[in-house]
Amino acid sequence: MKTLLGFIRKEFLQTLRDPRMRMLLFVAPCVQLTIFGVALSTEAKNIRLSVFGAPNDTSLQEIYRKALASGWFIPAKTSSLDPFDQINKGEADAVLVAPMGGLDKSLGRSEGKVQLLVNATNVTRAQSIERYFLNIVQSLYPQSAPFRFDVRVLYNPALRTALFLVPGVMSLLVCLITILLTSMSITKEKELGTFETLISAPVKPEEVIFGKTVPFVLLGMSNIPLIVGVAVALFGMPLRGSLFILLLSSFVFVCCTVGIGLFISTVAKNQQQSMMGGFLYLFPSVLLSGLVFPIENMPWVLRIFSYINPLTYFIELLRNIMLKGGDARLILFNILILTAMAVLVITASWRRFKVVLG
């Protein structure tokens, strides 16, 4: 234990001694969060639509069928009978709710009114849903008809783009910092000529792995309160869920990304290769995470890669915890997936490192 603590202390001192490294760790995330949170934008497709009303309500079912025929919407697979619960659990992106007594009777009283519940954790997607439905309703019912279309936007009533983008950018920054720093850890030892000393030292491979992992996990976690603070103070991000759950999710994700960075460092021969390896992983990881392009828009082949991408699950966790308050089943599922990924990648890194030690 004394050897391990000394090794961890050495890694901390070596990392934080460089002023440029301190800038990368603590200043760059705030600057990047500000820039990316304002600049990024997205689109929408394959919107999961559910209908809440009687099956014999002809007018409501006609709107539903017209929506599905438009090509913008797909039927939502739901297990709950509560329309709000369907959106909270992530089963539907939008729910069409009939008025009391049904839409047919409401139209007969010249009071045609239907409500659309929209999940606005993705602002651009929510705006597209509203626009699509207005076009559908107008095509079925002329403006002279007694029809009112009431859109109720959930989780982001003001449709602020920042509330959708900031959780994704937060995930990206944590991923960027941990992978790039960790991927350069062993290659830096190789270039400085200290790797041979490390091999010949009375240190077990397990101690080296923990010594190379623990400091970067702690450094990655140290950025979480900083980034969350900037998001809340600067962009007005709500934190409706548990802070403990957010930190737990972040810890599992950081362990996973540190493991990925460590694996890259065992493959690369120098810092340039490790830097390139990190960026080669990060670029497709970002594109396939749902941060820039909705996963629902992607071909099914690319969705497979999205579902083995840790960033996909952490973005979903942050948006659910911060904007929705946190659905227990969804949070548990995503944390378990990230935990499995972390165990897998750290195990692969450990085996690869034993090969490097030869």
pLDDT for 58 equals: 85
120 near 159, Cβ under 8 Å?
yes
Query: Measured at the alpha carbon of residue 88, what is the angle toward residues 86 and 91, in degrees to the nearest 5?
Result: 45
Q: How far apart are the first and last CA of the chain?
A: 24
Tokens of 140: 């079925």
| pLDDT per residue as tens digits for the range 151-176 | 777 787 766 777 777 888 888 888 88
pLDDT of the chain, 358 residues: tens digit per residue: 777 788 778 777 877 776 766 776 777 677 767 655 554 445 567 889 999 888 888 888 888 888 888 888 889 988 888 888 888 888 898 998 888 777 877 776 666 677 888 888 777 778 788 888 888 877 777 655 556 667 777 787 766 777 777 888 888 888 888 888 888 877 877 777 776 676 666 767 677 777 778 888 888 898 888 888 888 888 888 888 899 999 999 999 999 999 999 888 888 877 777 887 887 788 788 878 877 777 777 777 778 888 999 999 999 999 889 888 878 888 999 999 999 999 999 888 888 877 766 6
How far is residue 321's CA from residue 332's CA, in Å, rounded to a whole number?
12
How far is residue 358's CA from residue 354's CA, in Å, rounded to a whole number?
6
How far is residue 154's CA from residue 166's CA, in Å, rounded to a whole number?
17
Please name the helix (run of DSSP H) or strand (run of DSSP E) that holds residue 8, with its range, or none.
helix 2-16
Q: What is the pTM of this model?
A: 0.72
| pLDDT per residue as tens digits for the range 33-89 | 765 555 444 556 788 999 988 888 888 888 888 888 888 888 998 888 888 888 888
pLDDT for 79 equals: 81
